[in-house]
Amino acid sequence: MLAAARIAGIMAAKQTSSLIPLCHTLLLSSVQVDLQLLSDEGAVEAVCTVSSTGKTGVEMEALTGAAISLLTIYDFCKAIDRSMHVEDVHLQFKDGGKSGRYDRR
């Protein structure tokens, strides 16, 4: 399940411009999706890290990759628990692009 979710997140990041209207097509240098089981909370954390040498930011690609990874996990587990939910999808860190650096930490 986690391997499939990781692949789905990478694929989604690469297809962001097809999914979100008016989002530019970007040449991505790398996409990494890290998934961590948080067994105490009964949750999965998804972190999608995207980089590009282009002049624009890649936050939409990273957010799309993380969200689709989690939705893939939902799809795998919905037969067990339909009350699952995806929450707190947010930008953690961004450097570059027109708006410069952002660090939520």
Number of folded domains in the chain? 1
Q: Residue 95: which pLDDT band, with cuts at 50, 70 and 90?
A: confident
- Please check whether residue 29 is in contact with residue 54, taking contact to mean a CB–CB distance below 8 angstroms: no
Q: What CA–CA distance (Å, rounded) separates 49 from 63?
A: 9
Residue 72 lies in a domain: yes
pLDDT at position 97 over 80: no
Q: Which residues are catalytic?
A: 75
By residue range, what is the domain housing residue 18? 2-84
pLDDT in tens, 1-57: 999 999 999 999 999 999 999 998 999 999 999 999 999 999 999 999 999 988 888
DSSP-derived secondary structure letter, 75: H
User: Which pLDDT belongs to residue 25?
Assistant: 92
DSSP H/E element including 36:
strand 30-38
Residue 22 lies in a domain: yes
Q: CATH number for the domain including 55?
A: 3.30.70.640
Q: Which residues contact 92 (CB under 8 A, 6 or more apart)?
A: 47, 103, 104, 105
Residue 91 lies in a domain: no
